[in-house]
């Protein structure tokens, strides 16, 4: 991959002034909040995409919104690129810096500011981790719904940047459906507030626009999110099938009928084997595809919903049905699923695709995905949010073999194009980042991208905010 142009050429005017910039930024921040020594910069060279790495110019770790504003005001005045960073768990390279950029890490903004059960909201700083929100309200019977597999580490600021999802988003929606307000620092240091605790807001929905904008419209420093009351009970059930096509058509019928379980996760045989070997979750090994369907509510509600789902599964040739019999068993089932990426990483390098397709196309796209990967001489494991049509083929390859890596990238591109051509899109929850930037022209007509970029420029006229990401480097407006 390194022969591809991944980043905008670094600005000589910025690189040449490095020492001055570092000194100026130091003055804007408390002691110990600016990293500029080579050794200190290493952890910020890449993120969970790992395909590229750059040493940034410096890393600012502000402690307040005012400090974020001061840094942005300074960087915009001197035309210095800025890359916001949460926990660096991006799977699309959204937080990988360019060498002339100041990384603004939000990790020190880690306080929960307000929990308001009467309005079912929590207001937190951007660096609070996803799981911390749920943990803070768990004893009182609430949780924050979107649950990326990286929820132990990833921050709410990063979740907003990527409009992150997770297994339980089928019922509760992704980040944008659970976000009520943000404090946003614009490129020039202006601080604005979007949304709030009440339903909707008049005027233009800038809040929705900011969610998923990958750090290009400003830097979120605080967020108000919706809290959900924990259900009375929850029960994951395993449904095994002798083919991926049957499992896929079963999902389509469940959703088509209008039943909305909390989650419908899909694993094919390779994924089952990888996860079971790691987590000993008790997955059936005599099936080609597995669905984890979770229902919730009272015992009566769960029984009623499960009866409908079991009837549908029967029409699609289900060969194994196993209900979890205890909280322990339920936790194990989820542990297996949520460790899929880590467990895969133990046996091979992989790139994780994030294409989304209409449910009616699920079986077709699964079959074609297998054909594409096989044609490139590689292996694939599929483990994904089937109820949302949000596919995650993991293409297994050897990162130290350049030809293998090139084949994996090419297979990935073909799979994403397949998703788009099937009426879907490039990304469900991981964002565009560096990874899918050049495929945006397959998703959109230039006229559609132009309008997006015009709106982007309304927030960041000189393109200093995370500028190498999301939009193809060619066909941009002259800045």
Binding to a second copy in span 229-268, by CB under 8 A = 229-230, 252, 255-259
CA geometry: angle at 395 spanning 391 and 400, to 5°? 150
Task: State the nearest-atom distance from the C-beta of 183 to a second copy, in Å.
Answer: 11
Q: Check the CA dihedral 121-105-427-135 and report its sign.
A: negative
Binding positions for a second copy, 48-107, rule CB under 8 A:
none
Q: Is residue 139 at the binding interface for a second copy, with CB under 8 A as the rule?
A: no
Q: Is residue 119 at the binding interface for a second copy, with CB under 8 A as the rule?
A: yes
2 vs 204 by CB, closer to a second copy? 204
Please identify which residue in 386, 449, 464, 465 interacts with a second copy, judged by CB under 8 A: 449
Long-range interactions of 189-195: CB distance < 8 A, separation 24+: 189/69, 189/70, 189/72, 189/73, 189/74, 189/76, 190/69, 191/65, 191/69, 192/218, 195/224
> Taking contact as CB under 8 A, which single stretch among the options 37-45, 292-300, 336-344, 372-380 is the one that binds a second copy?
292-300
190 vs 398 by CB, closer to a second copy? 190
237 vs 470 by CB, closer to a second copy? 470
Q: Are strands 289-297 and 263-268 parallel, antiparallel or unpaired?
A: antiparallel
> How many residues contact a second copy, by CB under 8 A?
84
Closest CA to 396 of 325, 329, 345, 323: 345
Q: Is residue 19 at the binding interface for a second copy, with CB under 8 A as the rule?
A: no
Task: State the nearest-atom distance from the C-beta of 146 to a second copy, in Å.
Answer: 12
| Binding map of a second copy across residues 450-479, x = CB under 8 A, - = no contact | -xx-xxxxxx----------xx--------
Task: State the nearest-atom distance from the C-beta of 13 to a second copy, in Å.
Answer: 27
Task: State the nearest-atom distance from the C-beta of 343 to a second copy, in Å.
Answer: 25
Task: State the nearest-atom distance from the C-beta of 27 to a second copy, in Å.
Answer: 26
Kindly list the distances between the CA atom of residue 190 and the CA atoms of 67, 463, 467, in Å, as whole numbers in the listed order. Answer: 12, 16, 19
| Binding map of a second copy across residues 185-224, x = CB under 8 A, - = no contact | -x---xxxxx-xxxxxxxxxxx-xx-xxx---x-------
Do the beta carbons of residue 123 and residue 182 sit within 8 Å? no
| Binding map of a second copy across residues 269-288, x = CB under 8 A, - = no contact | --------------------
Please identify which residue in 15, 304, 327, 479 interacts with a second copy, judged by CB under 8 A: 304
Characterise 247 by phi-psi region: left (phi > 0), alpha (psi -120 to 50), beta (else).
Answer: alpha
Task: State the nearest-atom distance from the C-beta of 148 to a second copy, in Å.
Answer: 14
Residue 308 phi/psi, 5-degree rounding, is: -65, -40
Binding positions for a second copy, 371-430, rule CB under 8 A:
388-390, 419, 423-429
């Amino acid at each position: 991959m390194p022969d591809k142009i991944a980043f905008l050429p670094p600005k000589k005017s910025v690189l040449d002034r490095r020492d001055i910039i570092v000194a100026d930024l130091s003055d804007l921040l408390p002691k110990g909040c600016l990293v500029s020594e080579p050794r200190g910069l290493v952890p910020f060279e890449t993120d969970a995409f790992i395909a590229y790495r750059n040493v940034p110019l410096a890393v600012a770790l502000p402690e307040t919104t005012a400090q974020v504003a001061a840094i942005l005001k300074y960087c915009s005045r001197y035309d210095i690129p800025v890359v916001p960073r949460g926990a660096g768990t991006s799977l699309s390279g959204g937080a990988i810096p360019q060498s002339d950029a100041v990384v603004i890490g939000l990790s020190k903004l880690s306080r929960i500011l307000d929990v308001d059960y009467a309005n079912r909201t929590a207001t937190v700083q951007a660096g609070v981790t996803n799981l911390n929100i749920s943990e803070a309200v768990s004893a009182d019977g609430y949780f924050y719904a979107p649950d990326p597999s990286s929820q132990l580490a990833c921050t709410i600021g990063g979740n907003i940047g990527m409009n992150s999802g997770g297994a339980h988003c089928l019922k509760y929606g992704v980040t944008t459906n659970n976000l009520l307000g943000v404090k946003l620092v614009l490129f020039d240091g202006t601080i604005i507030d979007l949304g709030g605790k009440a339903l909707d807001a008049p005027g233009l929905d800038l809040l929705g626009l900011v969610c998923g904008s990958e750090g290009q419209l400003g830097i979120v420093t605080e967020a108000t999110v919706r809290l959900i009351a924990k259900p009375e009970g929850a029960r994951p059930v395993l449904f095994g099938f002798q083919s991926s096509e049957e499992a896929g058509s079963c999902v389509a019928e469940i959703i088509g009928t209008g039943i909305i379980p909390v989650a419908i996760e899909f694993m094919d045989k390779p994924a089952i084997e990888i996860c079971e070997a790691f987590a000993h979750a008790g997955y059936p090994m005599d099936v080609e595809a597995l669905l984890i369907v979770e229902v919730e509510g009272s015992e009566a509600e769960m029984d009623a919903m499960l009866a409908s789902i079991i009837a549908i599964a029967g029409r699609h040739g289900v060969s194994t049905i196993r209900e979890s019999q205890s909280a322990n068993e339920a936790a194990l089932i989820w542990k297996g699923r949520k460790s899929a990426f880590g467990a895969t990483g133990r046996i091979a390098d992989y790139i994780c695709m994030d294409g989304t397709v209409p449910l009616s196309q699920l079986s077709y796209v699964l079959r074609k995905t297998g054909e594409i990967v096989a044609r490139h001489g590689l292996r694939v494991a599929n483990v994904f949010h089937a109820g949302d049509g949000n596919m995650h083929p993991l293409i297994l390859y050897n990162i130290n073999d350049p030809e293998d890596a090139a084949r994996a990238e090419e297979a990935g591109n073909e799979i994403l194009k397949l998703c788009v051509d099937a009426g879907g899109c490039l990304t469900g929850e991981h964002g565009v980042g560096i990874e899918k930037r050049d495929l945006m022209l397959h998703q959109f007509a230039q006229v559609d991208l132009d309008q997006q970029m015009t709106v982007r420029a309304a927030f960041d006229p000189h393109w200093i905010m995370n500028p190498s990401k999301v939009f193809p480097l060619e066909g941009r407006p002259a800045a």
